Amino acid sequence: AQDYHFGLEEGEGISELFDCD
Amino acid sequence: HPQTPVRAAMSNIQQLIMILNSATDTPSDILITYFNNCTVNPKDSILKRVESLEHIFKKKFAEAVGQGCAEIGSQRYKLGVRLYYRVMESMLKSEEERLSVQNFSKLLNDNIFHTSLLACAVEVVMATYGRNASQSDGTSAETDLSFPWILNVFDLKAFDFYKVIESFIKAEPSLTREMIKHLQHCEHQILESLAWQSGSPLFELIKQSKERESQAEQPEPPSA
């Protein structure tokens, strides 16, 4: 996964991406 | 022996099958616990969706590859379902740790979340086998089942698929380097083209953010 560019911030995850925070 | 492309692909397939051998075709006890913690228990809808998408996938796979390959499509779908449950459990564990929350009712009752997650899992399986598309298993190299084929099968918007990719990679540490590169390639394809097709949810998000910006810029009325 080193090659992958992770873009989510520290406090972000799948819950925020689906508006479930 | 030197690693030929075919041998590398075969080892990826064997690695995937080995990983998924220990996974289950149905939600694990840990997943059931998360489901039971939800305000609305999503278990039945999740099982119904997996079953209905299997029929659709099997039909589309057979249409694309040949009626004689329906069973191969079913086997691939089943591997995808195992990966789907495995990644979902890992995602929920990390979200529980990050948010100190155990009730994921909204997320677990979100049809788009599940369809995107399952599509990503099935895409990983299809890409793993796709690299080794050969006459031996009946799928011809000409049949293009590569991304974004799965989006059409599941009638899924590219941007919704995009939303699960990063969390999927974080949740599944045993993805191969090639697979991570493949998923990154899917991301680029979505951001550079597929997400900008008409009807994409991205346009609604841009509209909402513009509305929020304009509201934030409006001066407050004197009474405030």
Q: What is the pLDDT of residue A1?
A: 67
pLDDT at B131: 61
Give me the residues of B, 172-191, that contact A with CB < 8 A. 173, 175, 177, 180-181, 183-184
pLDDT at B10: 66
Does B94 contact A20 at a Cβ distance shorter than 8 Å? no
Contact between B158 and B197 under an 8 Å Cβ cutoff? The reply is yes
pLDDT value of position B135: 43
Taking only the tens of pLDDT, chain B with its 224 residues reads 566 666 666 677 888 888 888 889 999 999 999 999 999 999 999 999 999 999 999 999 999 988 888 899 999 999 999 999 999 999 999 999 999 999 999 999 999 999 999 999 999 999 998 765 544 455 554 468 889 999 999 999 999 999 999 999 999 998 988 899 999 999 999 999 999 998 888 888 889 889 888 888 777 777 65
Which are the contacts of B101, defined by CB distance < 8 A and separation ≥ 6?
A15, B95
Buried b (16+ CB within 10 A) or exposed e, B48-63: ebbeebbeebbebbbe
Per-residue buried b or exposed e for B108-135, using 16+ beta carbons within 10 Å of the residue's own CB? bbbeebbbbbbbbbbbbbbbbbbbbbee
Chain B contact set for A1 (CB, 8 A): 169-170, 173, 175, 180
What confidence score (pLDDT) does residue B134 get? 46
Residue of B nearest to A19 (CA): B107
Nearest C-alpha neighbor of B147 from the set B188, B106, B92: B188
Question: Which positions in chain B touch A7 (Cβ < 8 Å)?
Answer: 166
Task: Give the ipTM.
Answer: 0.89
Q: What is the mean pLDDT of residues A9-17?
A: 89
